[in-house]
Amino acid sequence: MTTQMTKAPILSVENISKSYPGRRGTRIPVINDVSLELAPGEFISVIGPSGSGKSTLFQMLAGILRPDSGSVAFHGDDRKEPFSAYMPQKDLLMPWLTAEDNAALGLTLGGMSKRDARAKVGELLSTFRLDGYAKAYPFELSGGMRQRVALLRTMVIERPVLLLDEPFGALDYLTRTELQLWLSNICAELGLATILITHDVPEALLLSDRVYVLSDKPADVRMVLELPEPRPRTLDYMETETFTHNEKLLLEVLTESGRGAH
Amino acid sequence: MTGGVIGGSSVVRARAAGGKNRERFRRSASDSLLFRFLSPLFVAVAAIALWHFTVVIGQMPPTVLPTPMRVLEAATQNSDALWANTGPTVFVALVGLAASVLVSIILSTAMAFIPVLRTATLPVLIAAQSIPVIVLAPLFVIWFGFGLGPKILLIVIAGTLPMTIALLQGFLSADPDAMVLMRSLGANRIKVFLRLQVPSSLPFLFTGLRVVASFAVLAAVFAETVGAQSGLGIYMMTQKNMLRTDLVLAAAVVTVLLGLALFAMTYVLETIAMPWERRRKAMRSE
């Protein structure tokens, strides 16, 4: 369970805590002393029970919220601020934009011309298995395709750290598994530093180099699990003893923390 | 025995199939474009027939209620005068409509950006709306004269509020999560407004436009009845005073047609402004 950092981290989160104002001036702690590290090209997952403050943690990583104490430090090129690109759970595609224009949204908002942005998105369409759908409107796409457009929108802006908040939570089981395998390939292929927030244990095990297990609210890091097996992994990995052992282990820790609340 | 069973079940099957066919027919008949155009047309023809027979059976003098045919004849005989008076009414209605849209866009945009302005001006606008047009129209003639300007102003005053509220509602209907996403993608407040809130408001804009459009022709005609150099309103008043009920009704029919045309125009504009909605509707009717 010891972290063996081969490369210097690109992002280090040290002892961050966050609380929200409660009734009569009290504070409700949500995140309690959480630390994590991400190296370039690494894929880490943060897993926790529902309502464990995962989204709060995520918003702090995305720079939308500021932690009460502790720090979120980015060690890469300072000129690349904001360093993270985030993909929320909802696809949030604009119904009035075609698939390519939705995917190009971050580029055009950043000041790129529509033509250049479309060209850049166009190069990636086949990687995201969206060939032939550039001019389709969101309502003409399937759930999995919409999610891939949202992912393309997040990745095409090329920020150093990719943040995914339960990106496949709203999809059916088969589509979700398909997209997980595909994402695993893409992230390994492009060497993306990625943080995935999820409550899906197999998803975390299949995709990650390291899994951070959060406790129930207020969330602290209950366990850090290293997964040294090479990525990208295939479905065969789900048959291995390591996988089933880890799955059982994680479920035990997660349900135990769930019971702890009562 | 077995034959009986087979026979019985096939009867049931046939009946079930017949029921399904009938259902399918009913659905396709009520959905088809032809039906959607024909059914209101049928109602209109029935109403005209009812009008005609009421006059014939009741033996009404034409000064009280002329037959539809007589109205049509009067309209063709006086088509020059009708046309001459339609022009100013159309002009007032269209310019008034365009001006109220313009004013609403300015007001609602300011209100979307400045919440204080929203709370401060909305009650005043609602109060302005409660002043009846019936009171304002004659006053405007006293204050500003018989020209087209005061009539346009009247439509703007009455039309701006529903448009402003519709637009403001549209701007505020944008998904807050999408706003956070846009900000995280590097958009400033103005870009969030232009790229998210404005497109989100389009359906609201066209709903508001339809409300104001149906009302614009009516307000224009009413303003003219109080006092005007020309227009369908003053034409109706003049013909009424000369007991030309047929020409009053002819002018009324023109007013109705104008209202319908303006209403149809909002749909054309909507289709142009929202191509994705056009494709969505096409997909749904397939």
**What SS3 class is residue A255?**
helix
Taking only the tens place, the pLDDT of each residue in B20-42 is 455 555 555 556 777 777 888 89
DSSP letter string, chain B: -HHHHHHHHHHHHHHHHHHHHHHHHHHHHHHSHHHHHHHHHHHHHHHHHHHHHHHHHHT--TTT---HHHHHHHHHHTHHHHHHHHHHHHHHHHHHHHHHHHHHHHHHHHHHH-HHHHHHHHHHHHHHHHS-HHHHHHHHHHHH-SSHHHHHHHHHHHHHHHHHHHHHHHHHTS-HHHHHHHHHTT--HHHHIIIIIHHHHHHHHHHHHHHHHHHHHHHHHHHHHHS-SSSHHHHHHHHHHTT-HHHHHHHHHHHHHHHHHHHHHHHHHHHHH-HHHHHHHHHHH-
Burial bucket for residue B118 (CB in 10 Å: 0-12, 13-18, 19+) = middle
For residue A93, give the chain B residue with the closest CA: B178
Which segments in chain A show pLDDT lower than 50? 1-5, 261-262
Query: From B179, which residue of chain A is nearest by alpha-carbon distance?
Result: A92
Residue numbers in A near B196 (CB within 8 A)? 94
Indicate the average pLDDT of chain B.
85
Nearest CA to CA, how far is A248 from chain B (Å)? 35
CA dihedral (B187, B192, B193, B199) positive or negative: positive
**pLDDT level of residue B197 (50, 70, 90 thresholds):** very high
Tokens of B152: 């346009």
Give, in order, the Cα–Cα distances in Å from B219 to each of A7, A92, B107, B209. 75, 42, 22, 15
d(CA B38, CA A140): 32
Q: Which of B247, B254, B257 is nearest to B77 (CA)?
A: B247
Nearest C-alpha neighbor of B67 from the set B84, B54, B80: B54
Q: Which residues of B touch A88 (CB under 8 A)?
A: 177, 180-181
Each residue of B235-271: pLDDT tens digit?
A: 999 999 999 999 999 999 999 999 999 999 999 999 9
Question: What pLDDT does A259 receive?
Answer: 56
Of A86, A94, A106, the CB nearest to B199: A94
| The pTM of the whole model exceeds 0.80 | no
Mutate to test the interface with B, among A59, A92, A114, A146 (most CBs of B within 10 A): A92
pLDDT for the residue B79: 92
Residues of B with CB under 8 A from a CB of A: 175, 177-178, 180-187, 191, 195-196, 199, 202, 274, 276, 279-280, 283
Instruction: Write the residue in A62, A106, A139 that is nearest to B280 by C-beta.
Output: A139
Among the partner-chain residues B187, B276, B283, the one whose CB lies closest to the CB of A96 is: B276
A93-134 tens-digit pLDDT? 999 999 999 999 999 998 899 999 999 999 989 888 899 999
The arithmetic mean of pLDDT across residues B1-10, rounded, is 42
Residue B224 to residue B234: CA distance in whole angstroms = 5
Residue A158, token pair as written in the block:
């090329």
Residue A243, token pair as written in the block: 């996988």
Using CA atoms, how far apart are residues B188 and B207, in angstroms rounded to an integer?
29
Top residue of A61, A83, A89, A94 to mutate, by most chain B CBs within 10 Å, is A94
Q: Tell me: ipTM over 0.85.
A: no
Residues of chain A whose beta carbon is less than 8 angstroms from a beta carbon of chain B are 62-64, 82, 85-86, 88, 90, 92, 94-96, 105-106, 109-110, 137, 139-140, 153, 157
Q: How many CB pairs under 8 A join A and B?
A: 51
Q: Is B183 exposed, middle or buried (0-12, 13-18, 19+ CB in 10 A)?
A: middle
- B180, B181, B276 member nearest A95 (Cβ): B276
Q: Evaluate whether A33 touches A71 at the Cβ level (below 8 Å).
A: no
**Given this model, what pLDDT does residue B266 score?**
92
DSSP bridge partners of A34: A16
| Whole-number Å distance between alpha carbons of B95 and B152 | 7
In angstroms, the CA A68 to CA A46 distance is 20
Contact A161, A54 (CB under 8 A): no
The nearest CA of chain A is from the CA of B178 a distance in Å of 6
For residue B191, list chain A residues with Cβ-Cβ distance below 8 A: 109
- Provide, as residue numbers in chain B, all residues whose Cβ is less than 8 Å from the Cβ of A153: 185
